């Protein structure tokens, strides 16, 4: 057992702040067990999405990762950078702040490694496990229990000084620290996020239906429902709306962090450039960002949807190429987009693609695109 005085919480905070972490809190490793019923309820009511871990134990039990864990250190780094995005003259796709700049996972892991090495230099033989969105443990609930911020009605962790544009990371450690106090919600009577949510995903205060969240829709593969297609607007990756409208973010401290400032990929990026991505260009624009993990096709699918929602006729030429894509759902969506943007002129392209199409779902989609041109009923295509 370690002497609890091998390093103090204040020494850890001081080191963390100096190295670039904005907020540090301490939680008990047992703090997640009370979420068992809440998670069970979410799963039973279909409110979780298919990228969420469905083994509840893995979401609440840190002892699986570190048998003798005594504390969880929660850290937060603000990505509320000042950046005035130039609007491109042409139609654009919107990139969430979470994907501006360098992939935050790398930045946070780097900071956590420094913090771990500092603690290990004081507490010989201590053991630590570092997490940044690479494990199903409930990281927002850890941050809440560690006093990083309160849960907003939009389900984000909100810190009074830094707002909610926060990347979170955790260190499980076998050194005991006194847990910090939780902060109860300061949302009061505000309901801005619930009213603004374009996906209607905030079904109640503090309750989200992940399947309706547009952030999830931008990473979900394949075909989306027609209603989701319309609601996506110009979103290419992620959705920031419920945070953008939050009064706590209006008055939040701004930070200067080069690593989270847009580089090649712009917050409102030229749509035709995304529609024309090849592997090399995809790497150049998305490779270093956190938006790259879902791959090129999902990004291009979203760009096709953005072209439809922006009624961007300049996208017609790239769409004529994409109708021959290797990806079935890109072919299907290109056909649908052409049926809307190019109308009857698109008919020969879609018909030719339809006759060559082998994928049954996509064939069906193309058939509906042709019906769309003829003004026949185009049914919702949820798959």
Active centre residues (catalytic): 133
Residue 152 contacts ligand SF4 per CB under 6 A? yes
Q: Is residue 73 part of the contact set for ligand SF4 (CB under 6 A)?
A: no
| Given 248, 286, 329, 365, the residue binding ligand SF4 (CB under 6 A) | 248
Packing angle of the helix pair 9-19, 104-122 (nearest 10 deg): 140
Verify binding: residue 366, ligand SF4, rule CB under 6 A.
Answer: no
Distance CA 159, CA 75 (A): 12
Candidate list 9, 58, 192, 207; residue touching ligand SF4; CB under 6 A: 192
Check binding of 169 to ligand SF4 (CB under 6 A).
Answer: no
How far is it, in rounded angstroms, from Cα 166 to Cα 159?
Answer: 9
Residue nearest to ligand SF4 (CB): 152
Q: Which residue, 247 or 287, is less far from ligand SF4 as judged by CB?
A: 247
CB of 237 to ligand SF4, least distance (A): 12
Q: According to the binding rule CB under 6 A, does residue 207 interact with ligand SF4?
A: no
Distance, in Å, from the CA atom of 33 to the CA atom of 14, rounded to the nearest integer, reads 30
Ranges within 339-358 binding ligand SF4 (CB under 6 A): none
**Is residue 45 a contact residue for ligand SF4 (CB under 6 A)?**
no
Nearer to ligand SF4, 122 or 192 (CB): 192
Q: Does 190 bind ligand SF4 (CB under 6 A)?
A: yes
239 binds ligand SF4 (CB under 6 A): yes
Output 107 or 156, the one with its CB closest to ligand SF4.
Answer: 156
Q: Tell me: does residue 153 bind ligand SF4 (CB under 6 A).
A: yes
CA distance 68 to 65: 9
**Pairwise CA distance, residues 105 & 110, whole Å:** 9
Which residues ranging from 208 to 227 are in contact with ligand SF4 (CB under 6 A)?
A: 208, 213-215
Q: Which C-beta is closer to ligand SF4: that of 194 or that of 350?
A: 194
Which residues make up the interface to ligand SF4 (CB under 6 A)?
152-154, 187, 190-193, 197-199, 201-202, 208, 213-215, 239, 241-242, 245-248
């Amino acid at each position: 057992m370690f002497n609890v005085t091998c390093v103090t919480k204040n020494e850890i905070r001081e080191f963390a702040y100096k190295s670039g972490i904005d907020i540090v809190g301490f939680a008990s490793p047992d703090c997640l067990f009370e979420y068992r019923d809440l998670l069970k309820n979410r799963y039973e009511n279909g409110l979780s999405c298919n990228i969420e871990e469905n083994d509840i134990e893995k979401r609440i039990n840190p002892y699986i990762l570190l048998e003798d864990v005594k504390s969880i250190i929660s850290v937060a780094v603000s990505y509320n950078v000042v950046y005035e995005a130039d609007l491109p003259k042409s139609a654009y796709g919107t990139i969430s702040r979470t994907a501006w700049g360098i992939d935050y996972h790398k930045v946070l892991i780097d900071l956590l490694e420094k913090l771990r090495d500092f603690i290990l230099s004081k507490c010989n033989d201590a053991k630590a496990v570092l997490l940044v969105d690479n494990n199903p443990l409930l990281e927002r609930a850890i941050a809440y229990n560690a006093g990083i911020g309160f849960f907003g009605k939009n389900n984000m962790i909100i810190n009074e000084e830094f707002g909610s544009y926060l990347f979170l990371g955790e260190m499980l450690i076998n050194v005991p620290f006194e847990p910090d106090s939780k902060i109860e919600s300061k949302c009061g009577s505000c309901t801005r996020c619930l009213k603004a949510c374009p996906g209607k995903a905030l079904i109640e205060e503090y309750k989200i239906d992940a399947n309706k969240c547009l952030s999830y829709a931008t990473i979900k593969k394949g075909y989306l429902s027609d209603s989701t297609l319309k609601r996506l607007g110009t979103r290419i990756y992620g959705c920031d709306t419920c945070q953008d409208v939050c009064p706590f973010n209006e008055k939040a401290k701004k930070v200067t962090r080069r690593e989270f400032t847009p580089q090649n990929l712009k917050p409102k990026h030229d749509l035709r450039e995304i529609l024309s991505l090849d592997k090399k260009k995809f790497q150049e624009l998305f490779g270093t960002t956190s938006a790259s993990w879902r791959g090129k096709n999902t990004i291009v699918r979203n760009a096709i949807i953005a072209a439809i929602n922006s009624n961007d006729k300049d996208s017609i030429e790239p769409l004529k190429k994409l109708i021959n894509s290797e990806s079935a759902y890109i072919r299907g969506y290109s056909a649908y987009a052409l049926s809307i943007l190019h109308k009857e002129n698109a008919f020969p392209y879609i018909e030719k693609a339809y006759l060559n199409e082998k994928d049954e779902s996509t064939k069906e989609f193309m058939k509906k695109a042709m019906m769309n041109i003829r003004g026949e009923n185009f049914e919702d295509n949820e798959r």
